[in-house]
A and B are shown apart, each in its own frame.
Chain A
Amino acid sequence: MTFTKQSPWQKTLSYAALIILTIVVLGPFLIGLWTSFLPTMDIAKGNFFSTALSFNNYISAFTKTPILRYLGNSLLISTVTMFAQLFFCSMAAYAFVFLKFKFRNLLFGLFLVTMMLPFEAEIIPNFQTVKSLGLLNGYGVMIIPFLTSAFGVFMLRQSFKQMPAELKEAADIEGLNHFQFYGKIVLPYNRISLLTLAAYSFLGSWNEYLWPMLTTFSNNFRPIQNGLRQLQSEETFNDWGMIQASAAIVVIPTLIVLFVGQHYFKSGMNEGAVK
């Protein structure tokens, strides 16, 4: 941000820079979107500016591949994970802020330590655990390890701690018990932070890649990230038109949600995670 008044010449320069950068950022989207309308034959021949545009690639993506099933699987897994994290993280954060019990600080310290431990470094024992629990190749295996998150607890605790103390005092006078105070006051008061955690946990689950790849082997349960990998590695590998159409089918709804939800997400980000 600069405060100096801009001359028309400077304004033109600013717009030129903005437009060039937009093309650079959006380039891969646009190239992908364009090829998704081209016949694979034309793509293979390097005929990039073919005029034989059609929705054929989209039709074959929908009819010949289980892409809708993959999307449905991901939607289910991410939604359940999101609600579970909202519930368990807010409960845990409530305990850390409003309950007094032995070893509270020690326990919170352990939660902080948890945030330092990367899930990627724990896949070997975790794989053995879910295998011995008989969870392999199902929805459960992609949800259960992520029902709660130390980061979520940490973020909500920060937010709960900033609530005015009078609210708790008033609740005590009113005779609200902990469940009532949690449900009627704390959750509604912190809705922006909860929304941020919702977006964060949904996206986190949606983008999960390594864990589903290790634990899920059938299209019935495979989420979209691994589904797209599957499409690429199967015989369709050279069918670039259809692959690009699949990518577009996945990315377009996400972009719409992102653009619509951005306002909320941004204000929440600044409020919760970063502050």
Chain B
Amino acid sequence: MLKNVVEPEPGSLDVTPTTPKAKSRTKVFALNAKDKYYALLFLGPSVLLLALFVFYPMIKTLYISLFLTSGLGKTTVFTGLGNYVRLLTSADYLNSLGVTLIYVFAVTILTIALGLLLAHLASETLPGIGIFRTLFSATMGVSVSVAAIFWLFIFNPSTGFLSLLSNWLHLPVINWLTQPNTAMVAVVITTVWMNLGFTFLILLGAIQSVPTSLYEAASVAGAKPGYQFFHITIPMISPTLFFVSIITLIGSFKSFGLIDLITKGGPTNATNMLVYRIYKDAFYSGNFAQASAESIILTVIIALFTLLQFKILERRVNY
């Protein structure tokens, strides 16, 4: 830009640039230069923090994952993709990957299905419906450790609520947390319950924003409520449904608190999910190289789903 001002275009008759033009150009340039300093001030803190706590650790993790490490976390021998090959061929890690996938999909499907049921029922215009809407969103106020206490008591084999119930009904008492399959069921139920409030609120908002004229037209045409639900409500809220599904999916991949509080990854690794494994391998076993490789695999999985989420978000923004 400046260059053009100083050097006239070859072949141009007007050799000297006109004063006003040059002036205005310098002014624009000056404003941009000032913006640059403002930008430094406004963006600087966030950029520094993200660089220190997000970018640097990610690169460091990637770097460590290509080495073997000593017990003190120092890198020793370069192994390239050795850690990854070892992980992806170890039955133990593949088991973790498997149980995580089962957990993630079970949680997502159940959360969406139940959230949709609650939102659909609560979208009816009935007297007192506001109370139900408030109550259905209640689990949004529950943190991991509170949810874990509530459900640990329910699943407790000796004094818990489910064992009491089984005793009254003369059913066999199930030792929920000490058998692989039921432990997984317990963790899934607790997670779904925790997710429900948030999912319900988002889906209710979506259902309420469907234009009522669509339902009016449908009922004039004689469409039954069930038909209206599947042919009007579901298609109309599908962007929100996708959005909530992906949020739930990503959240479940990152599950840690409930696992630590309810099963500690057990019994026999039945709920030893990806994040819990990273924590164990790094901070219990001191195998930082392997934990780093696991972290990178987790990052790739989550990045892929986040990309998908951005795509949906983009579509929604353009609506």
Contact = CB atoms under 8 A, between A and B. Distances in A.
A91 B46 contact: yes
Given A44-B159, A114-B55, A148 B49 contact: yes
A153 B288 contact: no
B239 to A, nearest CB: 9
Nearest to B190: A28
A122 B295 contact: yes
Contact of A124 (B50, B154, B229, B288): B288
Nearest to B142: A251
Interface stretch (A51-59, A163-171, A187-195, A254-262): A254-262
Contact of A258 (B46, B140, B261): B140
Taking each of A44, A95, A225, A250, which has the highest tally of chain B beta carbons within 10 Å of its own beta carbon?
Answer: A95
Interface stretch (B11-19, B78-86, B101-109, B302-310): B302-310
A92 B136 contact: no
A144 to B, nearest CB: 8
B219 A225 contact: no
Contacts of A266: 201, 205
Interface in B85-130: 117-118, 120-126, 129
A103 to B, nearest CB: 10
Given A101-B39, A207-B143, A118 B205 contact: no
A1 B210 contact: yes
Contact of A122 (B57, B137, B202, B316): B57
Contacts of B46: 88-89, 91-92, 148, 153
Contacts, number: 281
A112 B42 contact: no
B186 interface: no
Chain B interface helix/strand/loop/mixed: helix
Interface residues on B, range: 35 or more
Interface string B296-315: 10110011001100100000
16 contacts: A3-B216, A17-B121, A18-B129, A92-B47, A110-B50, A116-B303, A117-B54, A122-B61, A124-B60, A124-B61, A147-B45, A224-B145, A244-B149, A262-B137, A270-B205, A274-B205
Interface of B: 32, 35-36, 38-39, 41-43, 45-47, 49-50, 52-58, 60-61, 64, 73, 117-118, 120-126, 129, 132, 134-154, 156, 158-159, 161, 163-164, 167, 193, 196, 201-202, 205, 207-210, 212, 215-216, 218-219, 224-225, 228-229, 233, 240, 243, 253-254, 256-257, 260-261, 275, 278-279, 282-283, 288, 291-292, 295-296, 298-299, 302-303, 306-307, 310, 316-317
Given A14-B121, A22-B132, A258-B138, 8 more contacts: A3-B212, A25-B135, A117-B58, A127-B283, A244-B149, A257-B141, A262-B137, A266-B201
* Pairs of residues from A and B, 6 with the lowest C-beta to C-beta distance, nearest first: A3-B215, A125-B57, A121-B295, A122-B57, A209-B257, A95-B42
